Amino acid sequence: METGSASQRKPASIVQVQSNGSISELHGWIVGIPGLAQRARRKEDGMQYLWKTKVKQLCIISLTWLFALTAISWTQELKANPDQRTGPAAAGTLEDWNTLTLSDGVLTPEVPLLGEKDNFPQFTRELIQVKWRHGDPIDLYVIRPKGVGNPPVILYLYSYPSETDRFRDDSYCARVTKDGFAAIGFVSALTGHRYQNRPMKQWFVSELPEALGSSVHDVQMILNYLATRGDLDMTKVGMFGEGSGGTIAVLSAAVDPRIKTVDLLDPWGDWPDWMAKSELIPEAERSNYVKPEFLKKVAAFDPVQWLPHLTSQHVRIQQVMDDSITPKAAKERINAVTPPDAQVVQYDSTREFFGAAAGGRIFQWAKEQLKPAPAKAPAIQASQKPGVRAVESGRD
Amino acid sequence: MTTRISRTAATVALAVIMCTGLNSYAATKVLFNGVGASVLFNTFALAAYSKSQCGTNIWTYKKGGNGIDGRSSSIPAENGNIWIVWNTPLTHVCAYLSIDATVGAQLFLAQPKATLSIPSSEIGLAGENLVPTLTDTTLPQAVYTALNAATFNAALLDSRPEDALFAENRVLAALDPVHYTGLGYGPGPIGTPIQSTFSSSEATPVAFAISGTDPITGETLPGWTATNVGADPEVIFVNTENTGSNGDFSNTAAFQNVDRFPLSLALNGTFGYTRDLSNVPGLDAQPLNVILREPLAGAFNTLEFSVPRSVEVGSTQELGVNPANAGGNPLNITNPGGGWRKRALSSSEEVSEVGSSANGNVLGYTYWSTGNFASVVNSTRYLTVDGIDPLYASYAGGFFPTCTAPCPGLVSFTNIINGSYPIWSVYRVVTAHSVPAGVAALIVAAQTQAATAIPDFVPFNQLAVFRSHYNLSGKTASDGFISGKPEAGGDLGGAVFPIQADLDFYTDTAKEIVGSKQ
């Protein structure tokens, strides 16, 4: 008799007789040793044999059916209501991105985890994981100047796409903490380490309401956490926002009065112009984002709607006119709605901006608003510098 | 039975024939088929000439190959010097056709891509030993068969493709005698050949694109990659064989340096005397002769945008040159002092003409390499520019060093590495988006060779500085040091900054140092 032929293969248990006479079992296909399997099976107790074959098979079949039915039911539900795939229900919270002000209890923070603490002569840097949504832990950098009890706080939020690398750059940390300020660094939703377990077609702009709405909530939750630490002056809070980080800074300051100073660099906004012309948008996708339904969905997150409300904060908007992410028309529209006391500085080119902002000078303005130097020299008007136009001059 | 045996025999025979045929066809693989800047001719030949690269058999020939741009029968073949290197089993072969960098970009980026053409009459001919230190053999049939009509798989440029396209379009545009935004060798897409004053060589400007569709065929361009190889200074050098007057360039006490403004005025024909370049008083009035390269050459454009057409100077080497006028093409225009401006069409022609005493007190320029100046070390010297030496930390008479390979440390490139010498550029190799393995290996070999054997350029990873990139040819500038932001835009004549400054500025502002020009 040939052994191991295809006709004799059958699902069963591989039973191995050990040297001590006991029997161990492996699941799989018996190939070529049916006689040995049958002899071993005869030694087993009748009930044990029944359990190992019939009942177990029945359980497996039942479980398979249960999983299949659940999957079918879930798929049908998602088809009926596709928004649930990535919406609040998916996150397991009651969070509503369209409501920028975060009500109590909507997000429940877990205990923050200290990942790392570094000591440097000028500052300390803590990497803390904070979390208030399922599957969305946030790497939060708390960088404190040495020798200052409760320093004023400035949040730093850079544009999509970005990572947290800069917050691990020691010279950067020295610049942002210079003059006794704490710096808080993180990235927005759907950005850097916070972009995971998503279909590739979903990205920051395609999911703009979620990206902006949840990031505005994050800012409020981060401020809540910072207030619990007791080692920061939460009466002096500023926020530096670049690109989409600037947009989030505007929206956050509009709903959270703890933010006293807002320093914006090329904030995104004026969605109809931005979506139509921004170089960030792949041409193949652009038509999706200029549709009225999409623009209607994101209208509530347009800084153009919110900037006029920032009347109680110090606001500066810096715009680099050769920046291709935010088109010129959008920049002009944003300018047109800035609050009366806001300072708007336009640079004709990145080259001119470099002259004004390099070496950490970009961070000085926000610091001066939060803690003005005691003997402050008269500020040079931007318009006096070659190539720099001061569109409006505010408190300076 | 007989039929079965016959069928079996026939099948076996066919299989043998097919296998034999396939083996023959696949026997010689083209690892590298490059085209481009003449200044990289020697460097890449020396890198290719190795058992671990292309092999240890070389054949070189002056004007021995042609680049065929098949987009139109009106496009003339681009003739240039060629080297071919292969291994003894004839399984690997590499080749390089030396022409203008911009023409190299045109041939590689043309869609469909251009091909190499080698006259069959060269099979079996002895080589001409064009690469210093290497000895040629004859060209085998198998090597010819593998290479002839092969598509170029790399373009070797001394600039970004964006800069090359800008140069091409400027050459083809109608002459703008005020701002020189157009040089008048058009109209495109196939322009007027730019001619050498000294030989029958010429280079024809032909339109191409770096993205979108080809301007001649309308075919869609595939993606490409530009790999940085290394940085090299362009050297200003003069003939020192004329003696008898203190206004001759042989007066080494008077002619050691040229500042950027006097240099620009010499190149654009404004200055007529050699003494106009010196700060030593009392020199005789000797006519100043200048040999320019053609505006399709990388050497022309690197110098053009670093000095005469810099933001600070705002002129051009082509000042007063109208290709349609007498003396315009080939260039032969006299200056107020009785000197002239003429044009050479390759690095080797430039060097040999500046090295010829028959051309009087003549000034020229080309990229540094040990091979480029090997033949004129006794007849020429180089000058510092703005007081900065291109080869050493400090000036020691301007004598070109000679290399008996290996010669690591022959030159230090101190002022290229620190960015203070004003005229330098980064060599790039443009390939398909996915760099072919043979090309990638050759780039690494060239860099290793430059670092350890023949210092013809500074390997890119040794540079501490970069040139600020700027928006050009439809590409938004990116300096290339930020993860996720590939290098893009032009950088010829870009202002020089430390790389760390770019990283720091990006860390603070999420913006790169772009748009700055010197």
| Chain B residues interacting with chain A (CB cutoff of 8 angstroms) | 468, 471, 476, 483-484, 501, 504-505, 507-516
> Phi, psi at residue B430, to the nearest 5°?
-100, 130
Tell me: pLDDT of A392 over 50: no
Please give the pLDDT value at position B56.
Answer: 97
Q: How far apart are CA B309 and CA B267, in angstroms?
A: 11
Check if the beta carbon of residue A306 is closer than 8 Å to that of residue A251.
yes
Q: How far apart are CA B431 and CA A217, in angstroms?
A: 47
Q: Could you tell me the pLDDT band of residue B43, with boundaries at 50, 70 and 90?
A: confident
Q: Could you tell me the pLDDT band of residue B106, with boundaries at 50, 70 and 90?
A: very high
Facing residue for A354 by CB, picked from B483, B507, B513: B513
Please give the pLDDT value at position B100.
Answer: 83
> Which residue segment(s) compose the domain that B513 sits in?
464-518
Q: Where do we find the tokens 């002895």?
A: B126
Residues of A within 8 A of B505 (CB-CB) are: 354, 357-358
In this structure, are A25 and A159 located in the same domain? Answer: no
The rounded percent of chain B whose pLDDT value lies above 90 is: 89
Question: Are B508 and A360 an interchain contact pair (Cβ–Cβ within 8 Å)?
Answer: yes
Contact with chain B for residue A116, Cβ under 8 A: no
The answer as to whether A212 is a domain residue is yes
Closest Cα in chain A, distance from residue B244 (Å): 50
Please give the pLDDT value at position A8.
Answer: 35
Q: In chain A, how many domains are there?
A: 2
Tally of CB atoms within 10 A around B441: 19
Minimum mean pLDDT range among A27-36, A42-51, A165-174, B134-143: A27-36
Question: Are B508 and A358 an interchain contact pair (Cβ–Cβ within 8 Å)?
Answer: yes
Ramachandran region, residue B17 (left: φ > 0; alpha: ψ -120 to 50; beta: rest):
alpha
Residues A19-29 pLDDT 10s: 443 333 333 33
DSSP letters spanning B42-75: HHHHHHHBBTTTTBSEEEEEEEEEEEE-TT-TTS
Residue type, B400: F
In this structure, are B366 and B507 located in the same domain? Answer: no
Which of these, A108, A116, A81, lies nearest to A92 by C-alpha position? A108
Q: H or E stretch including A331?
A: helix A328-336
The answer as to whether A342 is a domain residue is yes
Question: Are B514 and A350 an interchain contact pair (Cβ–Cβ within 8 Å)?
Answer: yes
Facing residue for B509 by CB, picked from A161, A169, A362: A362
In this structure, are A58 and A100 located in the same domain? Answer: no
In this structure, are A320 and A369 located in the same domain? Answer: yes
In this structure, are B319 and B413 located in the same domain? Answer: yes
Residues B20-31 pLDDT 10s: 444 444 579 999
Contact with chain B for residue A235, Cβ under 8 A: no
Residues B50-93 pLDDT 10s: 988 999 999 999 999 999 999 999 999 999 999 999 999 999 99
Alpha helical stretches, state H, B237-382: 260-267, 298-306, 347-354
The answer as to whether A1 is a domain residue is no
Residues of B within 8 A of A354 (CB-CB) are: 505, 511, 513, 516
The answer as to whether B23 is a domain residue is no
Check if the beta carbon of residue A12 is closer than 8 Å to that of residue A37.
yes
Which of these, B67, B36, B302, lies nearest to B157 by C-alpha position? B36
Question: Are B510 and A159 an interchain contact pair (Cβ–Cβ within 8 Å)?
Answer: yes
In this structure, are A208 and A350 located in the same domain? Answer: yes
Tally of CB atoms within 10 A around A388: 19
Dihedral of alpha carbons A344, A349, A353, A355, sign: negative
In this structure, are A203 and A279 located in the same domain? Answer: yes
The answer as to whether B265 is a domain residue is yes
Cα angle B275, B276, B280 (rounded to 5 degrees) comes to 55
Residues of A within 8 A of B511 (CB-CB) are: 320, 323, 350, 353-354
In this structure, are B354 and B272 located in the same domain? Answer: yes
Please give the pLDDT value at position A25.
Answer: 38
In this structure, are B404 and B480 located in the same domain? Answer: no
Question: Are A175 and B512 an interchain contact pair (Cβ–Cβ within 8 Å)?
Answer: no
Closest Cα in chain A, distance from residue B216 (Å): 24
Check if the beta carbon of residue A315 is closer than 8 Å to that of residue A285.
no
In this structure, are A303 and A268 located in the same domain? Answer: yes
In this structure, are B286 and B343 located in the same domain? Answer: yes
Contact with chain B for residue A83, Cβ under 8 A: no
Residues B202-237 pLDDT 10s: 999 999 999 999 999 999 999 999 999 999 999 999
The answer as to whether A89 is a domain residue is no
In this structure, are A127 and A229 located in the same domain? Answer: yes
The answer as to whether A204 is a domain residue is yes
The answer as to whether B141 is a domain residue is no
Question: Are B510 and A175 an interchain contact pair (Cβ–Cβ within 8 Å)?
Answer: no
Beta strands in B303-461 (DSSP E): 332-334, 340-344, 362-367, 380-385, 424-432, 458-459
- Computed over every residue of chain B, the mean pLDDT equals 94
Question: Are A354 and B504 an interchain contact pair (Cβ–Cβ within 8 Å)?
Answer: no
In this structure, are B479 and B403 located in the same domain? Answer: no
The answer as to whether B348 is a domain residue is yes
Please give the pLDDT value at position A5.
Answer: 36
CATH number at residue A191: 3.40.50.1820
In this structure, are A71 and A212 located in the same domain? Answer: no
Facing residue for A242 by CB, picked from B484, B509, B516: B509
The answer as to whether A337 is a domain residue is yes
Contact with chain B for residue A354, Cβ under 8 A: yes
Check if the beta carbon of residue B50 is closer than 8 Å to that of residue B56.
yes
Closest Cα in chain A, distance from residue B501 (Å): 9
Question: Are B507 and A363 an interchain contact pair (Cβ–Cβ within 8 Å)?
Answer: no
Q: Are strands B289-293 and B458-459 parallel, antiparallel or unpaired?
A: unpaired
Residues of A within 8 A of B486 (CB-CB) are: none
Question: Are B504 and A171 an interchain contact pair (Cβ–Cβ within 8 Å)?
Answer: yes
Facing residue for A242 by CB, picked from B484, B501, B510: B510
Tell me: pLDDT of A2 over 50: no
Facing residue for A279 by CB, picked from B476, B483, B516: B476
The answer as to whether B152 is a domain residue is no
Question: Are B504 and A159 an interchain contact pair (Cβ–Cβ within 8 Å)?
Answer: no
Please give the pLDDT value at position A372.
Answer: 54
DSSP one-letter code for B151? B
Maximum distance among all alpha carbons in chain B? 106
Q: How far apart are CA B233 and CA B463, in angstroms?
A: 13
Residues of A within 8 A of B508 (CB-CB) are: 166, 172, 175, 357-358, 360, 362-363
Please give the pLDDT value at position B371.
Answer: 84
Residue ending a domain, choose from A49, A80, A111 = A80
Question: Are A158 and B510 an interchain contact pair (Cβ–Cβ within 8 Å)?
Answer: yes
Facing residue for A351 by CB, picked from B476, B510, B515: B515
The answer as to whether A146 is a domain residue is yes
Question: Are B508 and A243 an interchain contact pair (Cβ–Cβ within 8 Å)?
Answer: no
Q: In chain B, how many domains are there?
A: 2
CATH number at residue B326: 3.40.190.10
Rounded to 10 degrees, the C-alpha dihedral B33/B37/B42/B46 comes to -40
Question: Are B513 and A350 an interchain contact pair (Cβ–Cβ within 8 Å)?
Answer: yes
In this structure, are A351 and A207 located in the same domain? Answer: yes
Residues of B within 8 A of A322 (CB-CB) are: 471, 515
Tally of CB atoms within 10 A around A314: 23
Contact with chain B for residue A360, Cβ under 8 A: yes
- Mean pLDDT score, B430-452: 96
Question: Are B512 and A171 an interchain contact pair (Cβ–Cβ within 8 Å)?
Answer: no
Q: Could you tell me the pLDDT band of residue A58, with boundaries at 50, 70 and 90?
A: low
Tell me: pLDDT of B175 over 80: yes
Facing residue for B515 by CB, picked from A162, A243, A322: A322
Closest Cα in chain B, distance from residue A16 (Å): 50
> Which residue segment(s) compose the domain that A206 sits in?
95-373+381-392
The answer as to whether A353 is a domain residue is yes
In this structure, are B382 and B277 located in the same domain? Answer: yes
Tell me: pLDDT of B455 over 90: yes
Q: Count residue pairs from A and B with Cβ separation < 8 A.
A: 54
Contact with chain B for residue A170, Cβ under 8 A: no
Q: How far apart are CA B163 and CA B226, in angstroms?
A: 12
Q: How far apart are CA B203 and CA A161, in angstroms?
A: 45
Q: Could you tell me the pLDDT band of residue A75, with boundaries at 50, 70 and 90?
A: low
Residues of A within 8 A of B510 (CB-CB) are: 158-159, 162, 242-243, 265
Tally of CB atoms within 10 A around B104: 33
The answer as to whether B452 is a domain residue is no
More confident residue, B404 or B468: B468
In this structure, are A51 and A150 located in the same domain? Answer: no
Question: Are B516 and A158 an interchain contact pair (Cβ–Cβ within 8 Å)?
Answer: no
Closest Cα in chain A, distance from residue B109 (Å): 23
Please give the pLDDT value at position A72.
Answer: 59
Minimum mean pLDDT range among A79-88, A242-251, B248-257, B498-507: A79-88
In this structure, are B363 and B500 located in the same domain? Answer: no
The answer as to whether B292 is a domain residue is yes
Peptide bond into B189 cis (omega under 30): yes
Contact with chain B for residue A317, Cβ under 8 A: no
Mutation for A interface: B508, B517, B518, most A CBs within 10 A: B508
The answer as to whether B411 is a domain residue is yes
In this structure, are B395 and B263 located in the same domain? Answer: yes
Contact with chain B for residue A363, Cβ under 8 A: yes
Tell me: pLDDT of A71 over 70: no
In this structure, are A247 and A350 located in the same domain? Answer: yes
In this structure, are B378 and B484 located in the same domain? Answer: no
Facing residue for A161 by CB, picked from B484, B508, B513: B484
In this structure, are B308 and B408 located in the same domain? Answer: yes
Q: Could you tell me the pLDDT band of residue A114, with boundaries at 50, 70 and 90?
A: very high
In this structure, are B513 and B390 located in the same domain? Answer: no
In this structure, are A59 and A175 located in the same domain? Answer: no
Residues of A within 8 A of B507 (CB-CB) are: 166, 169, 171-172
Question: Which residue on chain A is closest to B471 by alpha carbon?
Answer: A322
Q: Could you tell me the pLDDT band of residue B148, with boundaries at 50, 70 and 90?
A: very high
Question: Are B501 and A159 an interchain contact pair (Cβ–Cβ within 8 Å)?
Answer: no
